[in-house]
Amino acid sequence: MTHSNEPKMETEVTEADESIDPQIILADERYEVIGQILCETYKPGQGKWILSDMLDRVFLHRYLGLPIFLVIMWAMFHFTFEISLVFMEMITQFFAWLGTYTSQIPNPLLASLLTNGILGGVGFILTFIPPIFFLYLAISILEDTGYLSRAAFVMDRFMMKMGLHGRSFIPLLLGFGCSVAAVMASRTVDGESNRLTTILVSPLMSCAGRLPIYILIAGVFFPSNAGTVVFLMYMLGIVMAIIVAIIFKKTILREESSSMIMELSQYQIPTAHGSFRHMWDRGIMFVKTAGTYLLAGSIIMWTLSSFGPAGLGVPVDESFASILGHFFEPIFMPLGFSWQIVTGLIFGFLAKEAVIQSLAIVYAVGGIALETALLGSMTPLAAVALMVFVLLYVPCLATVGAIRRETGSWKWTGFSVVYQLVLAYIVALLVIIIGGALFV
């Protein structure tokens, strides 16, 4: 920068309207200086369209941008579900083979713990590792091609019209992987009210821990449209996050939204090494984080399902798990949830994957296959309500801890837990009421 340019910049910034975002002023001045340098050093050739320009005209189109984003998201989840089926079946058969040996252990208590507890719980969850890894692979490919920054730009325009902060889209996008990462990324959002709003709505996004639940329920009740059902759950999370954020911004967290300034990355062809490396790193991190809770949860859930007031070996309907589920069951009866599902939802507070892990253990101790038990205990409409409830209800323990660290307040942390429980129940109940009225 030459000396003659500096006074001009200081004058413009000083005289700028205070209502303008300072980052916009800095960006304007930065690109003005870049333009002056380019004028002195760059001689443009014959103007012509390049591939990047043509792609941006499509992906960033005012009307086509959002539909294209939705189609790409649908294709991603459909790909994730379909390509994972064969690997899930291989893992299922492997653990079934292991179960034939552990069930023959002479000690009945140890045999039940290993077969119904460890293999029935952790082993069952591991069958859903393939779709989680493939989801991370798809996200990595979209990220490496440069499309995700375009998606953020498209969604920023939409979110700004709704009165939300444009930069909030990045944490929400990270919520597809892990709610903890989404909450932590909210610190990049400008403005205390905007940042707090983003923290509170980030857990509404479907994290990887919810994906096994969607795949199980959709595969059992809607096998021919499972990929589409999973996609709709993810889209519902985005819609609910936007609606809740608007309500917060209009009521308890009023603040003027500010613009998002970002530079679009260059389009490029993703490399197999880079995409698979990102998939592996994120997938392994998820397995390590979830595994800590799942192993402990399996042992606890097996203990509650195998023991009761009368001691060891009681029928599962007389176990401590049954007592716990029956205690809260009346609250969830309007949603069509059995005590087994209620118990699973309680353990889902440790980690969302623990919902189906708990169900697998409870039904395994009772001697019933999980898929068969679900078909016999709930209707397709109740299955949809269950997926909606899992999507919206209280975040996992790690996410609650992240909210506490980022907000520095137990008040806002408690508010996050309570409002999500109420929201999940109301929306799930609306699914039952509206669905019952439409399909009776």
Is residue 14 situated within a structural domain?
Answer: yes
- Structure token pair of residue 247: 């309500």
Torsion of Cα atoms, 211 then 182 then 135 then 389, to 10°: 20
CB 92 within 8 A of CB 328: no
CA distances from 149 to 17, 80, 208, 292, 438 (A): 29, 21, 21, 33, 40
Residue 258 has pLDDT above 60, yes or no: no
Answer yes or no: do 223 and 362 share one domain: yes
Is residue 53 situated within a structural domain?
Answer: no
Is residue 205 situated within a structural domain?
Answer: yes
Average pLDDT over the chain reads 81
Residue 31 has pLDDT above 80, yes or no: no
Is residue 149 situated within a structural domain?
Answer: yes
Beta strands in 92-132 (DSSP E): none
Q: What is the pLDDT of residue 56?
A: 83
Answer yes or no: do 340 and 251 share one domain: yes
Q: Domain count of the chain?
A: 2
Answer yes or no: do 416 and 366 share one domain: yes
Residue 357 has pLDDT above 90, yes or no: no
Element containing residue 182 per DSSP (H, E)? helix 179-185
Q: Which tops the pLDDT comparison, 331 or 211?
A: 331
Answer yes or no: do 38 and 75 share one domain: no
Answer yes or no: do 25 and 173 share one domain: no
Q: Which tops the pLDDT comparison, 221 or 285?
A: 221
Q: What is the pLDDT of residue 164?
A: 61
Residue 126 has pLDDT above 70, yes or no: yes
Answer yes or no: do 172 and 30 share one domain: no
Answer yes or no: do 70 and 41 share one domain: no
Q: Which tops the pLDDT comparison, 383 or 11?
A: 383
Q: How far apart are CA 326 and CA 331, in angstroms?
A: 10
- 322 is in which domain, residue-wise? 65-439
Answer yes or no: do 14 and 131 share one domain: no
